[in-house]
Amino acid sequence: MLQVLLIEDEQRIADLIKRGLEEQGFAITLAFDGLMGKKLALANHYDIIITDIILPNINGLELCKEIRSQQPNIPILMLTALGTTDDKVEGFDAGADDYLVKPFDLRELHVRIRALLKRNSSNTNLQGFILKYADLELNLHTKIVKRSNKEISLTPKELKLLEYMMQNTERVLSRTEIAQNVWETTFDTGTNFIDVYINYLRKKVDKDFAIKLIHTKPGLGFIFKQD
């Protein structure tokens, strides 16, 4: 069953779309504001994201940019009442793959979704669900991690931390950012749980290999790179 994240702040419209897509065999996760949409999008795997532009907390354009920066391959379809050419250009510039103006027929929405999924499948196929860096590989479907073809067993939280770091390679990640995106919580400077999990991950991913991938940047955070 294909997973859809629908971000729409109008309850009536969200329920209508949800029912229509569920009838077509999709599994729908709802978010009613941009902040919750961002959290869900970055914490879970979805086959496609559908988002309104005018949203509380984080608008759809900024949301699209943030999701696209971390998940470049996921299809994003924008829904909006703003239908001018400039509005559409702005949406595409933000990273949207398609743009549907309200009001619309649910049949057209279904056709657009299928087209985006087909395009994405032909572009990425299974490789789109495999993160690779150096000799490390993470399959997002099977949750299997391998380094130099040697399988590594990780706990769910270690796996989520590794996934986030592999999606943000060669960039310094602060403890606050990791806490917000992996643990979905505000970082408490009085705890060291992130350092503890980084050490767990190091022991499994780096310990038995000459090239280290997880590095500490004193006073800043951590970076995932070859060294």
**Number of compact structural domains in the chain:** 2
Helix, strand or coil for residue 84?
Answer: coil
Report how far apart, in Å, the C-alpha atoms of 119 and of each of 21, 38, 46, 66, 209 are.
19, 23, 15, 22, 38
Report the distance separating Cα 5 and Cα 74, nearest Å.
11
Its domain, for residue 11, covers: 3-125
Q: Which of 125, 144, 176 is the last residue of a domain?
A: 125
CATH number of the domain encompassing residue 211? 1.10.10.10
**Token pair of 225 as six digits:** 């790179």
β-strands 145-147, 136-139: how paired? antiparallel
Q: What per-residue confidence (pLDDT) applies to 227?
A: 75
What pLDDT, on a 0 to 100 scale, did the predictor assign at position 40? 94
Q: Which residue has the tokens 């354009």?
A: 61
- Within this chain, do residues 194 and 90 fall inside the same structural domain, yes or no? no
Q: What is the pTM of this model?
A: 0.54
In a domain, 215, yes or no: yes
CA 127 vs CA 27, 124, 145, 199: distances in Å? 23, 6, 14, 29
The Cα 26–Cα 171 span in angstroms is 35
Is residue 115 located within the same domain as residue 200? no
Q: Which residue numbers in the chain have pLDDT < 70?
A: 83, 120-128, 184-191
**34 token code pair:** 């941009």
- In this predicted model, what pLDDT tens digit does every residue of 68-125 receive, in sequence order? 888 878 899 998 887 677 777 787 788 888 888 888 889 999 988 988 888 766 554 4
HSE on the CB side for 102, CA within 13 Å? 15
